[in-house]
Amino acid sequence: MAAATGIRGVTIPSSLQNQRVSLSVTHSPGICRSADRPYTKLLRVRQISSIRARSQAPSDQDASARGGADLKQEAARLAKESAKFLVATSASVAVALSAGLGIAEARPEGVNKPELLPKEFTTVIDVAGFLSPGQEQRLAKDVERLEQDTGYKLRILAQNYPNTPGLAIRDYWGVDDETVVFVADPNMGNLLNFNVGSTVDLSVPRSFWSRLAGKYGNLFYWREKGEDVAIEAAVVAIDNCLREDPGPRQCAEIK
């Protein structure tokens, strides 16, 4: 038996043609054409909607799968791009708060440029042009006083990756366990990044560095105030922290 044609050319399967359904409403205009017909318009619409829903289900699943695959590809791409900055060099990594601290291993390409180092020794290097000459001199004096008073060596590098001396700073500054390498780089998400020697790590709560970066290194702060203001504020906070006496409240506030 051939299949019957229903509403708007939709075909009703032949297996369903002879089925009769008991209706509570009969001969209602717009719902039933005839009591002798095996299907009412209402039931046909419901049946057609059900068939359409089943036929569309696989395509919806396919779309969902494609969407999930696209999201995974995008996440992988973003992770790959972020990794270019986070594993570059000891001068371009943030403090590893969940792992051991120290100088990170670097990629050999593009991150070891000793030619960018000043010919004369200085504790403040600005290859990005964030600081004025006067600001560099003031920061260098602050760093010198801190080292004389506490023994801690703060070293400041303002860079714009990949324009950075990179690994060359290790020998230039003689980075050791009592050194804090402070890197200001806007390409790393947060402007303020710190590489902390093991002796400093034992003396200063690790949360201090993340709180400091969160206060002065966030995008909104340094874009409004300027990179130079953020750098100077961070140096003041580090100086205050390293001068505090050990105790449960040491470096609890960003001053």
Q: What is the pLDDT of residue 188?
A: 85
- H or E segment to which residue 68 belongs: helix 41-86
Contact indicator for 170, 182 with CB cutoff of 8 Å: no
One digit per residue, pLDDT tens: the chain, 255 residues? 444 444 444 455 555 444 444 433 334 344 334 444 443 444 344 444 444 545 554 455 555 555 556 655 665 554 445 444 443 443 333 333 333 333 333 333 557 999 999 999 999 999 999 999 999 999 999 999 999 999 999 999 999 999 999 999 999 999 999 999 999 999 988 999 999 999 999 999 999 999 999 999 999 999 999 999 999 999 999 999 999 998 889 999 998
Tokens for 62, please give them. 């396919």
Q: In terms of pTM, does the model score above 0.85?
A: no
Q: Looking at residue 54, what DSSP letter applies?
A: H
Of 237, 245, 108, whose CA–CA distance to 180 is shortest? 237
What is the DSSP pairing of strand 11-12 with strand 153-158? unpaired
Contact indicator for 166, 111 with CB cutoff of 8 Å: yes
Could you report how far apart the first and last alpha carbons of the chain are, in Å? 89
Q: What is the pLDDT of residue 64?
A: 52
Of 164, 90, 172, 170, whose CA–CA distance to 127 is shortest? 164
Q: Looking at residue 98, what DSSP letter applies?
A: T
* Residue 72 CA: distances (Å) to CA of 82, 85, 132, 187: 15, 21, 44, 24
Q: What is the pLDDT of residue 189?
A: 85
Inter-helix orientation angle 227-243/206-216, to 10°: 150
CATH architecture observed for domain 114-243: Roll (3.10)
